[in-house]
Structure 1
Amino acid sequence: MSKRTFKIAVLGGDGIGPEVCDESVRLLQEVERRLAGVAFDFQHHSVGVGEYQRNGNALPDSTFAACQSSDAVLLGAMGLPNVRYPNGKEIAPQLDLRERLKLYGGVRPIRLFNEADTPLKNFGAGEIDFVLVRESTEGLFYGRDAVLDPDADEAFNTMRISRECTEQVCRLAFQIARQRDGMKKVSLIDKANVLSSMVFFRKVFDEVAQEFPDCEADHVYVDASALFLVRDPKRFDVMVTENMFGDILSDLAAGLVGGMGMAPSGDIGDSAAVFQPSHGSAPDIAGRGIANPIAMHLSAAMMLDWFDDDNCKVGAKMIHAAITRVLADASKRTPDLGGSLSTSEMTDEILQAL
């Protein structure tokens, strides 16, 4: 039987990015070995701070072209806080990828695998389980290229909310809610009591909600949602929000289930997608072999689930089930969660549980 081949662009990036990315490639190779009908063609490309320092371009044209021609992009982490552009901004080619590939939907699943990993009381495995969907190409990030006048007395950025991107991300959020076993509820997180751009976001959200009569829709102000995430995270099933709000709330949400090392993500467009852990490059632990690979592995599973292929979906379930089995034992943790397993040892545990 012929196998369907998926071409995957692998961008390790900076800091711990290559370490966790290589571990996920190792995991995916074992999954591939167990799946009869698919093959993965991993193609590695240089990107990030190292590439910027060598050639002056953190996202070379050849790398971007490879991302365009691939079925998906698997990305580790990019950027180092102490290496910046002349204008003072951190190097972040992942943002360029989102914008140039039109990856409007930043999907951030949040799930608690073990009660030992949450700072909240009285929550067991699976009792914190929601998805935050962040519009990833505009919002307040739209103004990130504004030029700062060093002699000016003020500075400002523009928040852009377009009908097209808002419809796309809201529709994606409702589609995700339909597919989940949860409440089939989508909560818009906005600041419509203050910002006219958020009034518009809410208007478009309400229009899209009419297309999904089988789903519940509600609105929560962003400040209230931060409170509810800590006090009552069970009230959320799928959350959808603007770029900057999503950037902040996704970190808070990750903290509820063990931290950034447990938080996967996928940036989704109509014809392209990038999958990466929500964490940064963590240069303070780079090269020590102690980074938590769980978020990277869960991101790889998201990639398999995104592929339109039944075999790949089986592979995604295999990874999820193996991670669930490993994390059920609270002693099997990397140092960020108080354990002693190395990055590769954690992957070994998951491989054994497949």
Structure 2
Amino acid sequence: MKQYKIAVLPGDGIGNEITIETLKILKYIQTYYSSFQFEFQIFDAGAERFLKTGVTMPEDTFNHCKAADAILMGAIGLFEARHPDGREVNGDVIFRLRFDLDLYAGIRPVKLFEGVPGPLRDTSKGIDYVVVRENIEGLYASRAGGCNVRDELATDTIIITRTGTTKIVEYAFKLAQKRNGRPIDGKSMVTCVDKANVLSSYAYFRKVYDEVAQKYPHIAKDYAYVDAMALYQVMSPHNYDVLVAENMFADILSDLSSATIGGLGLAPSADIGDNHGLFQPAHGSAPTIAGKNIANPIATILSGAMMLDWLGERHGDAELLQAAKSIEQAISNVLNEGVCLTVDIGGSAGTNQVGDAVIESLHQILK
């Protein structure tokens, strides 16, 4: 039996509540399989810790995350926890892990589950695509290196490299190879999202995309300017399979895409590199609803499933891969039944009730 060390960072606000439900499900599902076992190590990092101690993430915690087989995060950040220059301190955790562990691929699945009241008028053609975000370059590479002169002039610099762009576009095409194509017709396609008509940095991103795409002639190439893409995600999301974009553009588009499937409470994410993986919901810490047992834990639970899938592929463990599919199927069943939904998607169930419902569905699937 393989033992996997999971560094757990519950974080701030609702982070602890949604993490508890996810760990409950992961602990439950491991009892059904013989090939793997989890060792969860919980660490205090985040904005609440910063307000108390002045340190967002101790160096020892970072080292444990680096040594772990995977990292599971709840939610990091509070509006009032900021550095003197105005930046929120959540970057001390999220950006530190992404940049220092080379988690270059931000993966944001966008899937509309049956039973979820999405805001779009007609979703009959389906929504099931993935936003692939370049995570460690782009405009956010200037996060600590921008210039502010006499409170009169501020600048940040976008960074687009051949190496970084090649890696993220390769990841996008390899992901498309494993998927079933876009909902409308099953066509495998990678859409390059940029602003190549205006900025040379994005024209260069597209140039590298074209070079990488030549290695995947069986997967269709596609292009969209980022402003038009925001329209297409609302008007015709069924036309897309995999989107690949620079750091900031993909950050914005992934939040927009989440709105089309019922909100951020249903939006999982993964930050993946060649040697490390961080898994967390795409939403924030929502401190105004913390402690009220109304937060939606599904995004975090789905992120946990993504963690199992990543570990399964990385270690060639078929049972981990199956466990990941079982969790997603259990969530699909719960949402489709429509009797255990949190308030953000039209129900009245508590956070812990949703976790219990997912476990009950898992029991039915696995028995």
- Shorter-chain TM-score bucket reads over 0.9
Instruction: For 2:84 and 2:30, locate their aligned partners in 1 and report how far apart those are by CA, in whole Å.
Output: 43
Give the equivalent residue in structure 2 for 1:209. Answer: 213
Say if 2:229 is the partner of 1:221.
no
Give the equivalent residue in structure 2 for 1:243. Answer: 247
Q: Helix, strand or coil: the match of 2:340?
A: coil
Give the equivalent residue in structure 1 for 2:121. Answer: 121
Q: Helix, strand or coil: the match of 1:288?
A: coil
- Where in structure 1 are there 5+ consecutive unaligned residues? none
Give the equivalent residue in structure 1 for 2:184. Answer: none
* TM-score scaled by length of structure 1: 0.97
Q: Which moved more, 1:52-61 or 1:344-353?
A: 52-61
Residues 115, 123 of structure 1: 8 Å contact kept:
no
Could you say if the C-alpha distance between residues 150 and 342 of structure 1 is closer, same or farther in structure 2, counting changes exceeding 3 Å?
farther
Say if 2:58 is the partner of 1:54.
no
Listed one character per residue, the Cα deviations across residues 60-114 of structure 1 (whole Å, up to 9, x for unaligned) are 1111100111110000010101111111111122111101111000000010002
> Among 308, 320, 338, which residue is 1:312 paired with?
320
Residues 132, 239 of structure 1: 8 Å contact kept:
yes
> Among 23, 26, 32, which residue is 1:25 paired with?
23
Deviation at 1:147, TM superposition (A): 5.1
Deviation at 1:152, TM superposition (A): 3.5
Instruction: For 2:116 and 2:20, locate their aligned partners in 1 and report how far apart those are by CA, in whole Å.
Output: 28
What aligned pairs does 1:290-309 form with structure 2 within 5 A after superposition? Answer: 290-307=294-311, 308=315, 309=317
Aligned letter for 2:332? T
Give the equivalent residue in structure 2 for 1:37. Answer: 35
Deviation at 1:173, TM superposition (A): 0.5
Instruction: For 1:316 and 1:262, locate their aligned partners in 2 and report how far apart those are by CA, in whole Å.
Output: 16
Aligned letter for 1:37? S
Instruction: For 2:146 and 2:194, locate their aligned partners in 1 and report how far apart those are by CA, in whole Å.
Output: 27
Residues 108, 133 of structure 1: 8 Å contact kept:
yes
- Where in structure 2 are there 5+ consecutive unaligned residues? 182-186, 363-367
Give the equivalent residue in structure 1 for 2:360. Answer: 352
Say if 2:85 is the partner of 1:87.
yes
Deviation at 1:277, TM superposition (A): 0.2
Residues 298, 319 of structure 1: 8 Å contact kept:
yes
Residues 73, 278 of structure 2: 8 Å contact kept:
yes
Residues 115, 337 of structure 2: 8 Å contact kept:
no
Give the equivalent residue in structure 2 for 1:130. Answer: 129
Q: Helix, strand or coil: the match of 1:138?
A: coil
Deviation at 1:115, TM superposition (A): 5.4
Give the equivalent residue in structure 2 for 1:267. Answer: 271
Q: Helix, strand or coil: the match of 2:337?
A: coil
Aligned letter for 1:128? I
Instruction: For 1:322 and 1:264, locate their aligned partners in 2 and report how far apart those are by CA, in whole Å.
Output: 15
Aligned letter for 1:13? G
Instruction: For 1:153 and 1:61, locate their aligned partners in 2 and report how far apart those are by CA, in whole Å.
Output: 35
Give the equivalent residue in structure 2 for 1:151. Answer: 150
Give the equivalent residue in structure 2 for 1:110. Answer: 110
Residues 105, 134 of structure 2: 8 Å contact kept:
yes
Give the equivalent residue in structure 2 for 1:324. Answer: 332
Give the equivalent residue in structure 2 for 1:166. Answer: 165
Instruction: For 2:114 and 2:101, locate their aligned partners in 1 and report how far apart those are by CA, in whole Å.
Output: 36
Instruction: For 2:290 and 2:250, locate their aligned partners in 1 and report how far apart those are by CA, in whole Å.
Output: 27
Deviation at 1:154, TM superposition (A): 2.1
Stretches (4+) displaced over 3 A: 146-150
Instruction: For 1:331 and 1:54, locate their aligned partners in 2 and report how far apart those are by CA, in whole Å.
Output: 40
Residues 185, 236 of structure 1: 8 Å contact kept:
yes
Residues 170, 212 of structure 2: 8 Å contact kept:
yes
Aligned letter for 1:225? M
Residues 139, 160 of structure 1: 8 Å contact kept:
yes
Q: Helix, strand or coil: the match of 1:117?
A: coil
Listed one character per residue, the Cα deviations across residues 135-181 of structure 1 (whole Å, up to 9, x for unaligned) are 01110101111355373322111110111111111111111100001
Could you say if the C-alpha distance between residues 194 and 147 of structure 1 is closer, same or farther in structure 2, counting changes exceeding 3 Å?
closer
Deviation at 1:117, TM superposition (A): 2.2
* TM-score scaled by length of structure 2: 0.93
Aligned letter for 1:322? A
Instruction: For 2:225 and 2:54, locate their aligned partners in 1 and report how far apart those are by CA, in whole Å.
Output: 41
Give the equivalent residue in structure 2 for 1:141. Answer: 140
Residues 116, 336 of structure 2: 8 Å contact kept:
no
Listed one character per residue, the Cα deviations across residues 205-240 of structure 1 (whole Å, up to 9, x for unaligned) are 111111112211111110111111011001110000
Aligned letter for 1:157? D
Q: What CA RMSD, in Å, does the superposition of the two structures yield over aligned residues? A: 1.3
Q: Number of residue pairs matched?
A: 351
Q: Helix, strand or coil: the match of 1:149?
A: strand
What aligned pairs does 1:176-195 form with structure 2 within 5 A after superposition? Answer: 176-182=175-181, 183-195=187-199
Residues 114, 330 of structure 1: 8 Å contact kept:
no
